[in-house]
A and B are shown apart, each in its own frame.
Chain A
């Protein structure tokens, strides 16, 4: 709720009392554009909060950020053994398939889960300092994004070791998929962080919901397996209505590359849909636009709920 001074530097010769000062208002309600402008003014705070979360997370640990690589690496190893060696799912290059989907999912999950508890967790700050509180939720998504960047190393290692080149037909869609995913995560993050102040169960509920959500997204199993069965009931659209599904598919199409490869048991396996890049472009564009509208709604709801934060915390 503060106004930036255009070029307000500390005057070395003391304080001038006659300069023109901007006026700002403290009002019961702020419009959504005002709120977003306010968030933009505090973008340096967003950077500082993200840096803080990363510094604090692996502080005093010998391996530091390598832990954030070991976590998905272990996950991939276990699932590889269970699904490929024990259950014999027959997907070739299963480690890459897992790594691509998991990379996108981890960004979404850790961002949303971290954000849900962010306002309650920072209650000391919320009650004592004035700043746009949405930043707390956005910082959770921001730090999840930084960890995402770390974890791309895991995927890169798999791609190099297993000698797989990203598909030039689809790899350009990855930034769009990322944008859509971040936009959707931010919208959900802002909404849930405010709701959690009033309904503290939200945090535990989200932990369970995200588990179901994880299995509703084609990460461990191939998209075609489930869509085949859903198509019989005409429910493929429902599968694709989950924004994380097209995002995961884009990642898989770009880095896993093959839609219908020869399986480890010698037969063709159907893994990814055979839509062309334009289909992905249309779907991702829709996700970005709808997520942006969702974000605006979330900021509005946040603004309505924010007024009573200090008494609820």
Chain B
């Protein structure tokens, strides 16, 4: 396997102006010496990405992940350092960036592909595939300004993925569009993964990163603070988020050490769904009550505690339901020897299909992940109301109400 992306001590500084002086008069008054602060958006970042890897870039707002992605894409040039890119790179920083509203979908495909560096001949070869993927059909001849936002996003995504990129950069773009479109995008990303293309994925949604990426980097204040398997990186991100948002009540260091020592002894043993082991899979009817019994053990037989997070994913990896005891403002789960934490869902509005579950245990103070376990296809939803479906289930009643009566003469 070879290296697809090599980043060598890249730094990027921005100048922050109190006020921007762009007019001639103002420039003359300040004689070019505009007061500004230097803001290091990226500080000495170095890493390598092997070909075929799907890498997640995690970080809170302002951590520099988008700046790094823009440097990789070549939109920003680093202040110092160098980036080596092997192969064609396609950046999806904004779907349909560069579309002109007054041009037809067809003309915009050519323009957009040319912006990405394709020659006219190459676009000709890909044109049919792009139109097919975008599902625009005859609307391709219409002006883009008449498109819905979903159509716009589909066309933008279609152009980007049909560039046959060796490296794909994706920045939060999957947040737009309807559920069907998101599924389609995810399917395309999975296809790219199977084909061995390199993907770098930026998101501040840990769920999406967990669903897509095998490894992840964590950025904080422009520095690369951690890298590793996605679950670990997500835990690290949450730690940084905690320390940044002041949720941490700054316990004495001694307490902290004790807690850390204790929590290392906490283990997640098994989970029962409505009395059936999640390893085996449970068949349920839509909208039924669900009770999870999560067996947690403190092997050191001390009184440990942890926060608990339960996630339910659909087949395309989207976290449909997430419950976190810390965010529910609950006390941490007390673990004395062996306990069973019970999580009840009143009625689970899941559509027909199979669902995976994940349980994460977190250290109560630091927010660090202690353990994470996933059960693929833990729940199978069968039945439910006929003719009512989609991503989630609902109970639908249809009847006719008479508003006003009219006499037909």
Contact = CB atoms under 8 A, between A and B. Distances in A.
A209 B26 CA distance: 20
A270 to B, nearest CB: 41
A53 to B, nearest CB: 10
A158 B240 CA distance: 75
Contacts of B79: 28, 307
A146 interface: no
A312 B15 CA distance: 9
Interface in B88-132: 88-89, 91, 93-94, 97-98, 100, 102-103, 107, 110-111, 114-120, 122, 125-126, 129
Contacts, number: 147
Nearest to B32: A198
B194 to A, nearest CB: 9
A28 B80 contact: yes
Interface in A93-139: 124-131
B23 A129 contact: no
A21 B86 contact: yes
B352 interface: no
Contact of B83 (A26, A45, A55): A26
Contacts of A207: none
Interface residues of A, number: 52
A8 interface: yes
B2 to A, nearest CB: 8
Interface stretch (B70-78, B267-275, B276-284, B354-362): B70-78
A52 B88 CA distance: 25
Given A8-B164, A9-B125, A27-B82, A199 B15 contact: no
A28 B166 contact: no
B304 interface: no
A14 interface: yes
Contacts of A200: 22-23
A56 B100 contact: yes
A131 B117 contact: yes
Interface string A16-31: 0100011111111100
Contacts of B125: 9-10
A49 interface: yes
B46 interface: no
A125 B115 contact: yes
Interface residues of B, number: 59
B269 to A, nearest CB: 41
B117 A2 contact: yes
A48 interface: yes
Interface in A193-210: 198-202, 205
Listed residue (A1, A125, A126, A200) with the most chain B CB atoms within 10 angstroms of its CB: A1
A231 interface: no
A310 interface: yes
Nearest to B112: A129
Contact of A25 (B20, B76, B84, B122): B84
B295 interface: no
Contacts of A198: 22, 27
Interface in B40-99: 51-52, 70-89, 91, 93-94, 97-98
A42 B86 contact: no
A199 B22 contact: yes
B94 A201 contact: no
Given A15-B196, A45-B115, A199 B27 contact: yes
Interface string B2-26: 0000000000001100001011110
Query: Which are the 7 A-B pairs with shortest beta-carbon distances?
Result: A128-B97, A130-B74, A15-B195, A21-B87, A1-B74, A17-B196, A45-B114
8 contacts: A8-B122, A21-B87, A28-B79, A28-B81, A48-B114, A129-B97, A311-B15, A312-B20
